Amino acid sequence: MGRLFGTDGVRGVANADLTAEMALGLSVAAAHVLAVADAAQPAGQRPKAVVGRDPRASGEFLEAAVVAGLASAGVDVLRVGVLPTPAVAYLTGALGADLGVMLSASHNPMPDNGVKFIARGGHKLSDELEDEIEALYHKHERGEPWRRPTGAGVGRVQRYEEGFDRYVAHLLGVLPHRLDGLRVVVDGAHGAAARVSPEAFQRAGAEVIPIGTDPTGLNINDGYGSTHLDQLRAAVVEHGADLGIAHDGDADRCLAVDAAGQEIDGDQILAVLALGLREAGRLRKNTVVATVMSNLGFKLALEREGVELIQTAVGDRYVLEEMKRGGYALGGEQSGHVIVLDHATTGDGTLTGLLLASRVAASGRPLAELAAVMERLPQVLINVRDVDKARAAGSAELRQAVVEAERELGATGRVLLRSSGTEPVVRVMVEAADIDQARSVAGRLADVVKSALG
């Protein structure tokens, strides 16, 4: 039996892989693990959970299942409705909740959905806590009954309407410089940030052109958002905007485009924010944390600027763990997960976009000029589908192919081959000084993946 939890919660096709029954059972298990009454809890007070979701149609029935599971386990539930993942994390901490739950499959297509649990304080779960929840869930599947309160012990459920304004106020409260005079296109991916992000930018003083902000429950990530930047590029150029901001479905990511419509990826955003934090004396230990997927040009730029770089395994949770361990202020991923630990417990796309725009406004320099601190080396990423990704780590054929590719690239490039934690694919990433060489090597490696794991 494979592990239910991936790198970001439990995901799958809603009502097929991820059913209402599973969502309910996982929520009861999470309540037992994360919402156990402790000595700090006043006598007779039930544990509390914050539950939010993105606009996917399947989120409606999955939310109902999660809420039922939590309440049946004796947990009071505050339903905050459609809000970004970082908003649910923030509210979990701000409201003193014992846990949070977010229903979202992030950047995945609409038929998918996911259940993401958040620990007390608004923090991501450790592998150990996820394993404990999963073990308890499987015990129940095998026939072990739940401990069920009755009478006054069952949880109560209510809407928490103040969540939207409280989260936006938090974002504006940590913004170092207002955005007056900036024209910004905000792409909400028809997702969880469709209302929040345009509102936050507008209240911060920017002139906002919103796109991808009409969620129907069926159009999330469909042609809009951080995985589909063409609409954002076109809108920025058409409206003569200073920059554009794109989120994914649950808005824990942020990518950008400059005034000419050129993409500014997560590495470039990190570089811009790192230098801004250093200038303000807030880049603790003069260090940035990123993953092994970061472009080699990012590493070279930080070296040139005298900033240290620590690299982790892929996944913003591993970046966050390293940031906490070392007491660092800034970290993130090329994909646009950016963590500013002074202001958020997880990647926050709206906060990232606001801070990036704030840096543009405060410096008086266009985004393209700020982002030019680093030069992206050509990087080719191929997602190989319909293969058995579980066999990738043990394949001698793949290991030999990677060794040969690295020998060909030498010191001017690198190869990274990894199984996705959120999708049924194996990712082949190749960097080289020359784009044609990167494409050639990546294509050959992708063919080996297909033949070895197909």
| Catalytic residue numbers, as ranges | 106
Cβ–Cβ < 8 Å for 344, 253: no
**Cα Dmax for the chain:** 69
- Side-chain-facing half-sphere of 271: CA atoms under 13 Å: 29
CB atoms within 10 A of CB 338: 28
Q: Which of 174, 216, 210, 179 is nearest to 195 (CA)?
A: 210
Report the Cα 24 to chain-centroid distance in Å.
24
Rounded to whole angstroms, the Cα distance separating 106 from 53 reads 10
Q: How many CA atoms lie within 13 A of 364 on its CB side?
A: 0
Q: Round to whole Å and give the CA distance between 92 and 122.
A: 5
The CA-based angle 52-57-58, given to 5 degrees, is: 75
Flag whether 106 is marked binding: yes
| Rounded Cα distance, 214 and 145, in Å | 43
Question: HSE (CB half, 13 Å, CA atoms) of 289?
Answer: 28
CA pair distance 260, 335, nearest whole angstrom: 21
- Tell me the HSE value of 291 on the side-chain side, using a 13 A CA sphere: 21
Strand order in the sheet with 379-385: 379-385, 425-431, 414-419
248 is in an annotated binding site: yes
Amino acid at residue number 441: V
Instruction: Supply φ then ψ for residue 339, to 5 degrees.
Output: -115, 120
d(CA 184, CA 206): 7
C-alpha–C-alpha distance, residues 85 and 167, integer Å: 11
CA–CA distance, 103 with 374 (Å, rounded to integer): 36
For residues 243 and 367, the answer to whether their CB atoms sit within 8 Å is: yes
127 is in an annotated binding site: no
Residue 89 and residue 118: Cα distance in Å, rounded?
7
CA dist., res. 38 & res. 424, Å (int): 39
**Binding site, annotated residues for Mg(2+):** 106, 248, 250, 252
**Binding site, annotated residues:** 106, 248, 250, 252
